[in-house]
């Protein structure tokens, strides 16, 4: 119980800075969970992997003496199923995301489940500045102090870390000829796809699951993300959409009426020691709605928080089942919150933590999203289930200048990795990437949804959510999900057999 409450505080506080305008900037689900919590919120099954550390170079792209500083990069390894170097058996590498690698490992059952079939070695590499892979002597405080130390955190450095580590590991294992396939979900999926494009001599292919590599300026509308969230609820029931959409004004009106804040406290069972505002409450509800859409999985899960199967449907059923005679939108929205924040039924009152400015997340993703990961999203048009809000690049820029005293580079990612006319460009250049997307997932708006060539394949699941294919399989998995995984296995198998053929031909 304490863990869950703690979790809610963190989930909430990370998004706090946006509450002043009652407007939420979506993050990848994993960015929302603090590393501490990731460790306590999952029970780490003993013996899934061994933990190792690799001495990594601080700056791969500069030869000044300071660049040669090193740090310890964590990676996890499982060789139980590996066919070995002599057999040139494959190596499956997870390109770590913005968080503790153990958490991603435990949410990437696909690799464990398929390893026996492929006789694959499993390696999960932690992204620099996250988990235990902290530069500057592992000192979190120093590493995150200001732009002088945070400056070494970027996707290009992370990719270079992965390449360096993989090459060294293969050398150590005398497994130079073992083919490497990279895997990743969400930001990790973006890294997997980019890794294949930048380091084709290191990885023969990539499974990039729910990887919004097109979620950048001039490639996607800033309104797409919430349009998809809106559609998720609307497609369950028109009433559900309407109730939620109209609730924001009711919350506002209630808050402004005499005794209104007390009323909100009561209606939403918020802990008495909390001071709340209408904006804080709206932000808290929007967070629940958004992350539920993202993780609208077909089976019960415990990804960000315990949730039932198809939680969007559950929320809408809760709304629809309450009589519509009076102004009961508060009751209905409480029911929605109760599914996301209290599915286990163990929360006695909802604790918002506190609203102080200190609660702004200074963590890694905040830095990344202020430097190169400038993702246009979070704008709400008139149709949006959330209050209308115009997205302005300028808001992000001024926030980031204020926060880090740096000027963001919103065009750097597309300069470095491309994105513009991706089909036309990659058709003549790239190969061996699977782009999986579930259309329930608001991040799919920035995903690759069309086949580009015979080996740049888009697998699109209408009913899928955020990297659902990479999760551990369960008995309740629907047929479409089983088929997606089967197709992925077949494609990866074809890359590997083609690789062995090429190797033979080479003699």
Ligand X SMILES: *[C@@H]1O[C@H](CO)[C@@H](O)[C@H](O)[C@H]1NC(C)=O
Q: Are 167 and 189 in contact (CB under 8 A)?
A: no
Is 466 catalytic? The answer is yes
Q: Cβ closer to ligand X: 26 or 496? A: 496
Looking from the CA of 120 toward its CB, the CA atoms found within 13 Å total 25
The Cα–Cα gap between 64 and 68 comes to 7
Shortest Å distance, C-beta 266 to ligand X = 11
Residue 440: which of 140, 190, 175, 234 has the closest Cα? 234
Shortest Å distance, C-beta 57 to ligand X = 12
Shortest Å distance, C-beta 434 to ligand X = 10
Is 441 catalytic? The answer is yes
Task: Determine which one of 100, 279, 441, 469 is catalytic.
Answer: 441
Q: Cβ closer to ligand X: 374 or 457? A: 457
CB neighbour list of residue 497: distance below 8 Å, 6 or more residues apart: none
Q: Cβ closer to ligand X: 206 or 376? A: 206
Token pair belonging to 447 = 């995903």
- DSSP E strands in 201-277: the ranges are 205-209
Query: What is the enclosing helix (H) or strand (E) of 239?
Result: helix 238-256
Shortest Å distance, C-beta 253 to ligand X = 5
Q: 364-397: buried (b, 16+ CB within 10 Å) or exposed (e) per residue?
A: bbbbbbbbbbbbbbbbbbeebbbeebebeeeebe
Task: Determine which one of 186, 329, 369, 444 is catalytic.
Answer: 186
Task: Determine which one of 127, 389, 466, 467 is catalytic.
Answer: 466
Q: Cβ closer to ligand X: 217 or 460? A: 460
Q: Cβ closer to ligand X: 221 or 346? A: 346
Residue 55: which of 66, 70, 43, 65 has the closest Cα? 70
Angle between helices 311-321 and 238-256 (to 10 degrees): 70
* Main-chain phi, psi angles of 75, to 5 degrees: -140, 155
- Any idea how long the chain is? 507
Question: Which residues contact ligand X by CB under 6 A?
Answer: 5, 47-50, 52, 54-55, 78-80, 112, 145-148, 165, 168-169, 172, 253, 269, 271, 273, 326-327, 338, 342, 345, 347, 349-351, 354, 356, 358, 450-451, 457-458, 460
DSSP class per residue in 251-270: HHHHHHSTTHHHHHHHHTTB
Q: Cβ closer to ligand X: 358 or 394? A: 358
Shortest Å distance, C-beta 392 to ligand X = 26
Shortest Å distance, C-beta 501 to ligand X = 19
Point out which residues pair with 350 in neighbouring strands.
Answer: 270
Residues that are catalytic = 186, 441, 466
């Amino acid at each position: 119980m304490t863990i869950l409450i703690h979790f809610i505080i963190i989930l909430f506080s990370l998004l706090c800075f946006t509450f002043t305008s009652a407007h939420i900037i979506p993050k990848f689900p994993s960015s929302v969970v603090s590393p501490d919590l990731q460790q306590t919120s999952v029970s780490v099954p003993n013996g899934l992997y061994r933990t190792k550390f690799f001495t990594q170079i601080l700056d791969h792209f500069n030869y000044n003496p300071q660049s040669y500083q090193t740090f310890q990069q964590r990676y996890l390894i499982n060789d139980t199923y590996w066919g070995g170097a002599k057999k040139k058996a494959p190596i499956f590498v997870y390109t770590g995301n913005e968080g503790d690698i153990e958490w991603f490992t435990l949410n990437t059952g696909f690799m464990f489940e398929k390893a026996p079939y492929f006789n694959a070695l499993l390696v999960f590499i932690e992204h620099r500045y996250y988990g235990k892979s902290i530069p500057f002597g592992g000192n979190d405080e120093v590493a995150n102090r200001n732009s002088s130390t945070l400056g070494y955190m970027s996707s290009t450095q992370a990719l270079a870390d992965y390449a360096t580590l993989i090459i060294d590991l293969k050398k150590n294992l005398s497994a130079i000829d073992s083919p490497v396939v990279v895997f990743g979900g969400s930001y990790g999926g973006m890294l997997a796809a980019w890794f294949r494009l930048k380091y084709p001599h290191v990885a023969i292919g990539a499974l990039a699951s729910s990887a919004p590599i097109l979620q950048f300026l001039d490639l996607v509308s800033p309104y797409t993300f919430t349009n998809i969230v809106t559609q998720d609820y609307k497609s369950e029931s028109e009433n559900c959409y309407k109730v939620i959409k109209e609730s924001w004004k009711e919350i506002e009106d209630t808050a402004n009426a005499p005794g209104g804040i007390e009323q909100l406290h009561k209606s939403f069972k918020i802990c008495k020691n909390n001071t709340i505002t209408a904006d804080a409450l709206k932000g808290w509800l929007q967070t629940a709605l958004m992350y539920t859409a993202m993780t609208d999985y077909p089976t019960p899960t415990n990804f960000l928080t315990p949730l039932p199967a198809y939680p969007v449907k559950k929320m809408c059923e809760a709304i629809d089942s309450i009589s519509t005679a009076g102004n009961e939108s508060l009751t209905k929205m409480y029911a929605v919150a109760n599914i996301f924040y209290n599915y286990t039924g163990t929360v006695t009152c909802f604790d918002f933590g506190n609203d102080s400015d200190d609660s702004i997340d200074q963590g890694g993703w905040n830095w990344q999203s202020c430097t190169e990961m400038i993702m246009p999203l979070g704008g709400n048009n008139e149709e949006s289930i959330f209050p209308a809000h115009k997205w302005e690049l300028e808001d992000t820029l001024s926030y980031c200048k204020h926060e880090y005293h740096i000027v963001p580079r919103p065009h750097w990612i597309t300069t470095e990795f491309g994105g513009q006319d991706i089909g036309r460009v990659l058709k003549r250049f790239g190969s061996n990437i699977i782009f999986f997307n579930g259309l329930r997932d608001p991040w799919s708006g920035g995903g690759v949804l069309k086949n580009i060539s015979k080996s740049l394949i888009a697998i699109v699941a209408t009913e899928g959510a955020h990297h659902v294919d990479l999760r551990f399989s369960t008995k309740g998995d629907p047929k479409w999900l089983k088929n997606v995984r089967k197709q992925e296995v077949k494609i990866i198998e074809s890359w590997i057999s083609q690789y062995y053929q090429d190797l033979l031909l080479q003699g």
